[in-house]
C-alpha cells in the first residue's frame, strides 16, 4: 500500500468511528429506573425480558460506600448521601446497584451519567459491603450524559 492509500484508509476509519460507536450503543436497550418495577415492586416485563442483556440507564452516582471501589449506586435523582438499604423488602424502586468493570472514578452526585451493564435481577447481598440489592448492573461502564 502506498502512502496515499494508507492515508485514505486511515482517514476513512477515523471519520467512520463516531458512527460505528453510535450504532453499537443504539443496540443496547435504554431504560429508566422506574421502568424496572411495577407498582407492587415486582419486576416489569421489560426487566424480566432483558435480564442478562446489556442495557443503558441514565441517572446519578450516589456517593460511594468506600474509596477505590468498583461498586456504586445509581439513583433517579441526585443524592448527597448513599441510599444504603438494610433489607430487600425496603429496596426503593428508584435506585440500582452497579458493579463496574474496574475501580470507579467518582462523578459528582449532581452530574447526570449513563451507565451500561448487564441487567441482573433477584435479591443479592454483597459479601464485602453487606449491600442488599434486588436489581443490579454487572460489568458496567459509566460516562457523563
pLDDT of amino acid 108: 93
Task: Yes or no: say if 24 and 34 are a contact pair by the CB < 8 Å rule.
Answer: no
pLDDT of amino acid 84: 55
List 132's β-bridge partners, or say none. 125
pLDDT of amino acid 17: 46
3-state secondary structure of 90: helix
The predicted model scores a pTM of 0.75
Residue 9 confidence (pLDDT) above 90: no
C-alpha cell at 135: 436489581
Q: pLDDT of 34-71, one tens digit each?
A: 899 998 889 999 999 999 999 999 999 988 877 889 99
Question: What CA dihedral angle connects 50, 53, 58 and 60, to 10 degrees?
Answer: 110
CATH T-level fold of 30-144: OB fold (Dihydrolipoamide Acetyltransferase, E2P) (2.40.50)
pLDDT of amino acid 95: 86
What average pLDDT does the segment 138-143 reach? 96
Sketch the domain layout of the chain as residue ranges.
Answer: 30-144
C-alpha cell at 83: 441510599
Cα–Cα distance between 95 and 84 in angstroms, integer?
10
Based on its alpha-carbon atoms, the radius of gyration of the chain, rounded to whole angstroms, reads 18
- % of the chain at pLDDT higher than 70: 73
Residue 4 confidence (pLDDT) above 90: no
Amino acid at each position: 500500500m502506498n502512502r496515499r492509500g494508507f492515508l485514505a484508509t486511515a482517514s476513512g476509519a477515523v471519520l467512520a468511528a463516531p458512527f460505528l460507536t453510535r450504532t453499537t450503543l443504539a443496540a443496547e436497550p435504554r431504560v429508566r429506573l422506574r421502568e424496572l418495577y411495577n407498582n407492587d415492586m415486582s419486576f416489569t416485563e421489560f426487566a424480566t425480558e432483558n435480564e442478562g442483556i446489556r442495557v443503558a440507564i441514565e441517572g446519578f452516582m450516589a456517593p460511594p460506600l468506600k474509596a477505590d471501589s468498583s461498586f456504586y449506586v445509581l439513583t433517579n435523582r441526585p443524592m448527597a448521601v448513599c441510599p444504603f438499604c438494610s433489607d430487600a423488602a425496603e429496596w426503593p424502586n428508584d435506585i440500582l446497584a452497579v458493579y463496574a468493570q474496574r475501580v470507579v472514578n467518582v462523578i459528582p452526585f449532581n452530574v447526570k451519567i449513563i451507565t451500561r451493564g448487564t441487567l441482573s435481577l433477584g435479591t443479592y447481598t454483597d459479601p464485602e459491603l453487606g449491600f442488599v440489592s434486588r436489581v443490579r448492573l454487572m460489568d458496567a461502564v459509566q460516562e457523563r450524559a
